[in-house]
Structure 1
């Protein structure tokens, strides 16, 4: 589907106005309602949903400030230009003039500002880039949420945008309704068009599969848990070309990629469309490599913590990247803020070398075993031995 079919709503406002908290609450509520969309973190230090769902003390140890670069801005613009679904765009609080090109790839905006000076600045940005303003909201940490106008745009106060909080109130509800109407594409039609374009005959809609397997839903949002993995693998054909479509944890994608081997595995990425896991090579990464890794020895496994110093890694540049060799007599846990397609690539690289492999998910506070040739570990087991 062409880019112009799908809106991209920019969430704008100064630092510490609650944009990321609002974005997280919006996407969670929209997902529970079955509204098809994704969030694009358009700032180099932006974090995913895990940062709002994981333990706050853990989040503080993982968050790493990163600088804006021209390459990062180009990457964001490319992702926006090739979007396959409606997007909510969470951008930084102080965009420089050369970063404003991101605005030109968006269609709408929601402003969230705490005071008049920041409101004036952000309103000027929205007007200068010809974005359609959906909502103009004042952020108050301790105030009371109230709607002051609904036409021609939503105005009011939204309060309580604290880290880790679930937002309630009339202003938030009205904003959800407005965005849901804008994103009102038929879910089945979108899914069908994406599945038809899959480069493999067996392409699986994960939401439909979750209902078949009895995975619980919060509204329209599937809540996959590690104990669902054995049932999932019993259902899927082994060593058969397969495509996965839809939202699911990193450990689920890694499990299915390993179960599918040596047959081709495909996964749908909202920025890229259908992709295969990149082929990686075992070698110590150079200090300037785009993918870095830290090895943390544990009693029965190696904890591998990956990082992308530039805050983004282009899929087209990922093939052939070096990843560090590890001991073959212990299991391995993969961790880091990485796209799902890189997790599947890492899993396929390391699984043949080790007795078992797990993938860490911060929201769970544990690593989930996704492959095991060791009778002491079973797929779906949780590893709670986290490095300090």
Structure 2
């Protein structure tokens, strides 16, 4: 039996679920409560949807219908979780999609009306979930707690995108989740690190604290790379995509493993270069005078690790640098970065910014790791 809880956040469409999940995740991070947010719907947006300008969210959102394959993949991800989960589900699950709810252990319900709460309460009970909270969502007014035990009930207000709430209800619910996710960081890491496939483990959270880093910046990259020996390694913790790519390229050709909360310790897939790239991704090539901008985005709502162990990516001009961008899981982005490591230099675009490429490896003096390649106005 999986020891980690999986808390479903459910409610009708447009009730503010994604904003609430983001606010709860931020509060749990501040409390150092280890967890992972799983967007269990095809248009799940992820934290970047709260941290990116509105026009960029529209550009990056991955829309698509539920499919049987998608449901089965997400159900499997929930069941084999390696951390406590917050699961953001769609607003209108079909009977087939309710297997995602049954894979969870607990439920937080959110709706604008009593009728919406009643519908989801019946669904949660039918799926055997332990109810933690029932919240009525309102745009205006203040939070209100009507009942604390056994179920937290009341009003949560101002669930507006780009203005995550921090009222009494969010705080109270976050505290309750923190008690549920009662694994100390030390206990969790000890359990996970025992399973790491390499002797050398790069703990990004510990590394950041040791260097006094509160938010990773590209300027931190040269110092970090100088501290890590170029050997086979396992990478654990929260960090931007460019940091993961830089560490993997620093270790190459030695093997690298990443900790994925859905999959455990995984190795990036083998990516080969050719003229007919894999159809699982949409590829957009933008040639520039000194580099090629390659954007890769999923061609389907969910990219399955087991089905993408061998990926074919476009062969690019070997004399030019490469900038990689797109909404990809870390294991696939790192696989792509490793495939292009023989180019003069390689940069990664971070989704939240989408204006600069951050150089992660280089053979030329002009572009050093941590430097920026300005992209604004280039497309």
TM normalised by structure 2 equals: 0.96
Does structure 1 retain, via aligned residues, the 8 Å contact 2:139–2:157?
A: yes
Q: CA RMSD in A?
A: 1.4
Provide Cα deviations, 1:295-320, integer angstroms capped at 9, x if missing partner: 12233321111111222121122122
Does structure 1 retain, via aligned residues, the 8 Å contact 2:201–2:233?
A: yes
Of 281, 295, 304 in structure 1, the residue corresponding to residue 272 of structure 2 is 281
Of 205, 208, 216 in structure 2, the residue corresponding to residue 224 of structure 1 is 216
Which residue of structure 2 aligns with residue 355 of structure 1? Answer: 344
Provide Cα deviations, 1:62-100, integer angstroms capped at 9, x if missing partner: 223211111111110111111111000001111111111
Of 304, 307, 329 in structure 1, the residue corresponding to residue 297 of structure 2 is 307
Provide Cα deviations, 1:169-214, integer angstroms capped at 9, x if missing partner: 1111111111111011111011011111111111122111112222
Which residue of structure 1 aligns with residue 203 of structure 2? Answer: 205
Which residue of structure 2 aligns with residue 80 of structure 1? Answer: 78
Of 5, 16, 19 in structure 2, the residue corresponding to residue 18 of structure 1 is 16
* Superposed structure 1 runs of 4+ greater than 3 Å apart: none
User: Structure 1 stretches of 5 or more lacking a match?
Assistant: 217-222
Where in structure 2 are the equivalents of 1:263-282 lying within 5 Å? Answer: 263-282=254-273
Which residue of structure 1 aligns with residue 57 of structure 2? Answer: 59
Which residue of structure 1 aligns with residue 7 of structure 2? Answer: 9
Q: Residues of 1 paired with 2:372 and 2:77: CA distance?
A: 34
Provide Cα deviations, 1:314-343, integer angstroms capped at 9, x if missing partner: 112212211111122221111111111111
Which residue of structure 2 aligns with residue 234 of structure 1? Answer: 226
| Number of residue pairs matched by the alignment | 377
Which residue of structure 2 aligns with residue 254 of structure 1? Answer: 245
Report how far residue 135 of structure 1 moved: 0.5
Of 334, 358, 366 in structure 2, the residue corresponding to residue 368 of structure 1 is 358
Does structure 1 retain, via aligned residues, the 8 Å contact 2:21–2:88?
A: yes
Report how far residue 384 of structure 1 moved: 2.9
Does structure 2 retain, via aligned residues, the 8 Å contact 1:44–1:67?
A: yes
Which residue of structure 1 aligns with residue 288 of structure 2? Answer: 298
Report how far residue 292 of structure 1 moved: 2.5
User: Structure 2 stretches of 5 or more lacking a match?
Assistant: none
Provide Cα deviations, 1:144-167, integer angstroms capped at 9, x if missing partner: 211111011111111111111121
Distance 1:59 1:109, change over 3 A: same
Distance 1:172 1:305, change over 3 A: same
Q: Secondary structure of the residue that 1:277 maps to in structure 2?
A: coil
Does structure 2 retain, via aligned residues, the 8 Å contact 1:284–1:325?
A: yes
Which residue of structure 1 aligns with residue 45 of structure 2? Answer: 47
Which residue of structure 1 aligns with residue 323 of structure 2? Answer: 333
Distance 1:180 1:370, change over 3 A: same
Q: Secondary structure of the residue that 1:315 maps to in structure 2?
A: coil
Q: Residues of 2 paired with 1:307 and 1:339: CA distance?
A: 10
Q: Residues of 1 paired with 2:310 and 2:62: CA distance?
A: 26
Which residue of structure 2 aligns with residue 346 of structure 1? Answer: 336
Which residue of structure 2 aligns with residue 220 of structure 1? Answer: none
Q: Residues of 2 paired with 1:284 and 1:97: CA distance?
A: 42
Which residue of structure 2 aligns with residue 219 of structure 1? Answer: none
Does structure 1 retain, via aligned residues, the 8 Å contact 2:44–2:62?
A: no
Provide Cα deviations, 1:95-114, integer angstroms capped at 9, x if missing partner: 11111100111000000100
